[in-house]
Structure 1
Amino acid sequence: MRLGLEPEELAQILADYRQSANLGIEDLARLIAAAEQMAAGHALGTLNCDAIMSRDLVTVRPDARAAQVADLFRKHGFTSIPVVDAQGGLLGVIFQLDLIRRARRDALWAQPGFGAAMTSLRSDKAAIPRAAEVMTIDLPTVAPSTPVASLLPLLADGGVEAIPVLDSGRIVGIVTRTDLLSALARSAARGAGQRL
């Protein structure tokens, strides 16, 4: 559906090119999506992560309370916040969705409703989750010199919302889907300007 084509249209393409015995509709959709990603990668050229990454990072320590993290999300409008150790080493990333899932889980286990669970994130109880309990730890990471085009498969499929950029084990930036879309838009605008 992301391609903007109905399954019947994909089936017709396969029939028109006499490929229906060799490929299925899902196979064709994957091939088209891969070709689109490759074309977008060409549009990005030799652009590296250090050219598009967000550098002014707001980070938290692993013992930060969930309420502090929620306040940072509200204040800055971020969707992800890195969790770092005292030396700036990446421990994980908290996504807004992580906090929502935690509050929902708490609502199902111990609270009378979702609203009460969200409120409990702000209370002074000892059971309040800390950043280390909510963060995602199994994220891919890249170096500042990593070509932006290599991030397309990671960020485009919906599985990853942001990719930390590390230099010698320390986080120096983060590339979000918004950063990637902005880079693609600038690249497309430059390409359109060159054709005029």
Structure 2
Amino acid sequence: MATRRIHLAAPPESVDDDPLVTEMMTTRLVAIVPAASLSTALHLMASTGVRHLPVLDGQRCLGLVVEADVVRCLAQAPGPFGEGSPLSVGDICRPADPLTVRMRRSDAARRMEAAGSDAVLVADHGRLVGIVTATDLIRSLAGRATPDTVEPEDPR
């Protein structure tokens, strides 16, 4: 005698509880070149309200520079405000292996955890199209609007 299996449909709110990164990423990218000074990077971050800058050499993404790394290096440099720092953005940028637009929120979280970072870049056919930060993940989990429709995060 055959056993009949009953398949229950998932409630609508749980059908896609792992959205695509494109649904939560920030598309307003502020980038910097590898030869830029660390003080330039910090000024750019402060003036635009971002904490991560993709480092671009032409169209090629070399990595990601993180505010905490910039501040740490400037604090260790001789002179006021790190003016004597011999380092450039390219010296401290972290390698970045961008996610593709078809990847999910869980992929972004796993990549951040594996890299010890709080942000990952998103690319479509090799072209950068966005960034997902830990803040974006939290907003997504909390069911808030996409980052491009809310006020920029408080840099404090």
* TM-score clears 0.5: yes
- Residue 59 of structure 1: aligned partner: 31
Runs ≥4 in structure 1, deviation > 6 angstroms? none
- Residue 122 of structure 2: aligned partner: 165
Once residues 155 and 50 of structure 1 are traced to their aligned partners in structure 2, the CA distance between those partners, rounded to angstroms, is 16
Aligned length: 131
Q: Which among 136, 153, 156 is matched to residue 179 of structure 1?
A: 136
Verify: 1:120 aligned to 2:83, yes or no. Answer: yes
TM-score by length of 2: 0.72
Q: Deviations over 1:105-143 (max 9, x none)?
A: 43xxxx3xxxx352416xxxxx64221112112x34210
Identify if the C-alpha distance between structure 1 residues 157 and 142 changes in structure 2 by more than 3 Å, giving closer, same or farther: closer
Once residues 114 and 16 of structure 2 are traced to their aligned partners in structure 1, the CA distance between those partners, rounded to angstroms, is 18
Q: Deviations over 1:144-163 (max 9, x none)?
A: 11011222333468921100
Q: Aligned partner of 2:108: which letter?
A: L
- Residue 102 of structure 2: aligned partner: 145
Identify if the C-alpha distance between structure 1 residues 158 and 141 changes in structure 2 by more than 3 Å, giving closer, same or farther: closer
Structure 1 residue 46, shift from structure 2 partner: 4.2
Conservation of the 8 A alpha-carbon contact between 2:55 and 2:62 = yes
RMSD: 2.4
Structure with max Cα Rg? 1
Conservation of the 8 A alpha-carbon contact between 2:55 and 2:61 = yes
Once residues 158 and 179 of structure 1 are traced to their aligned partners in structure 2, the CA distance between those partners, rounded to angstroms, is 17
Once residues 120 and 54 of structure 1 are traced to their aligned partners in structure 2, the CA distance between those partners, rounded to angstroms, is 32
Q: Deviations over 1:42-77 (max 9, x none)?
A: 796241011111111010111122221111111122
Richer in strand (by share) = 2
Richer in helix (by share) = 1
- Residue 73 of structure 2: aligned partner: 102
Q: Which among 72, 81, 91 is matched to residue 62 of structure 2?
A: 91
Once residues 92 and 113 of structure 2 are traced to their aligned partners in structure 1, the CA distance between those partners, rounded to angstroms, is 24
Q: Aligned partner of 2:90: which letter?
A: A
Q: Deviations over 1:8-50 (max 9, x none)?
A: xxxxxxxxxxxxxxxxxxxxxxxxxxxxxxxxxx796241011
TM-score by length of 1: 0.59
Once residues 137 and 100 of structure 2 are traced to their aligned partners in structure 1, the CA distance between those partners, rounded to angstroms, is 15
Q: Look up the SS of the partner of 1:154 in the other structure.
A: helix
Structure 1 residue 98, shift from structure 2 partner: 1.3
Verify: 1:71 aligned to 2:43, yes or no. Answer: yes
